[in-house]
Structure 1
């Protein structure tokens, strides 16, 4: 079965009743965990973006605590998983400020992580790519926010 394009789906949804839309959303939520997480964000968490960010940060803290530090292989694997989880939350939000906040927090956690990421090329490169990405994101924000985040980036890079 070939999936319809987004524009085709949008046109079809315009012709459906609210009961049909409700049923479609609930049915979609049953199929994948990501669909359910997105619906949860849209219905409950998008109202207060600050609380959403704090919740994700708490989740990141928890994940960093659980990292097996015996071997760099496990560290790399865990850190990539944490970053993928952060990126998933960023996709849900679609808010550039949220993206910058979460990536900055990730970079701070990575910088302060013991054992140091400087001893491993892969982790250092991952950190550097996030810094480059953050610089691009910050450049696209409002001037006041650019200034605030640029100061935080300077602190991070010290």
Structure 2
């Protein structure tokens, strides 16, 4: 089965009643965890972005605490998983300032992680790529926000 395009879906949804749309949303939420998480964000957390960012930061803190530091293999695997989680939450929000803030926090945690990522080229490259991503996203923000975030990055040491 070939999936319809977004514009086709939008046109079809315009013809559906309120009850049908509600039923479709509930049915979507039953199939994938990500659908349910996105719906939760849109319904409950979109209005308070600051609290959303704080919740994500707390989850990142917990994930960093749970990393098995016995071998680099486990460290790399765990850090990549944390980055996937952060990127997922960034996708839910879709806001550039949220993206910058969460990636900055991830880089801060990664830089201060023990054992140091400087001893592992793969982790150092991952860190460098995230800094490049932050800087690209910063260019899309207002000049005042760019300045504030760059100051914050300097304070954090990233």
Q: If the TM-score is normalised by the length of the shorter chain, which range does it land in?
A: over 0.9
* Structure 2 contact 68–75 (Cα < 8 Å) conserved: yes
2: CA distance between counterparts of 1:7 and 1:15? 13
2:56 is aligned to: 56
**What SS does the aligned partner of 1:57 have?**
helix
- Structure 2-normalised TM-score? 0.98
- In the alignment, what sits opposite 2:77? 77
Q: In the TM superposition, what is the alpha-carbon distance from 1:147 to its structure 2 partner?
A: 0.4
Take 1:156 and 1:54, find their aligned partners in 2: how far apart are those partners? 17
1:87 aligned partner: 87
Residue 157 of structure 1, CA deviation: 4.4
Cα offset for 1:139? 1.4
* Structure 2 residue matching 1:19: 3-state secondary structure: helix
Separation of aligned partners in 1, 2:23 and 2:116 = 50
What displacement does 1:87 show?
0.2
The answer to whether residue 27 in structure 2 is matched with residue 27 in structure 1 is: yes
The TM-score normalised by the length of structure 1 is 0.98
Question: For the residues of structure 2 that align with 1:138 and 1:100, how far apart are their CA atoms?
Answer: 7
Q: 1:153 — aligned with what?
A: 153
In structure 1, the gaps of 5 or more residues are none
Checking the alignment, whether the CA contact within 8 Å between 2:108 and 2:157 is kept in structure 1 is: no
Return the offset for 1:152. 2.0
Moved more, 64-73 or 143-152: 143-152
Q: How many residues align?
A: 158
- Pairwise CA RMSD of aligned residues? 0.9
2:2 maps to which residue? 2
**Post-superposition, which runs of at least 4 consecutive aligned residues in structure 1 deviate over 6 A?**
none
1:156 positional shift: 4.1
The aligned residue for residue 18 of structure 1 is 18
Contact in 1 for aligned 2:90/2:98 (Cα 8 Å):
yes
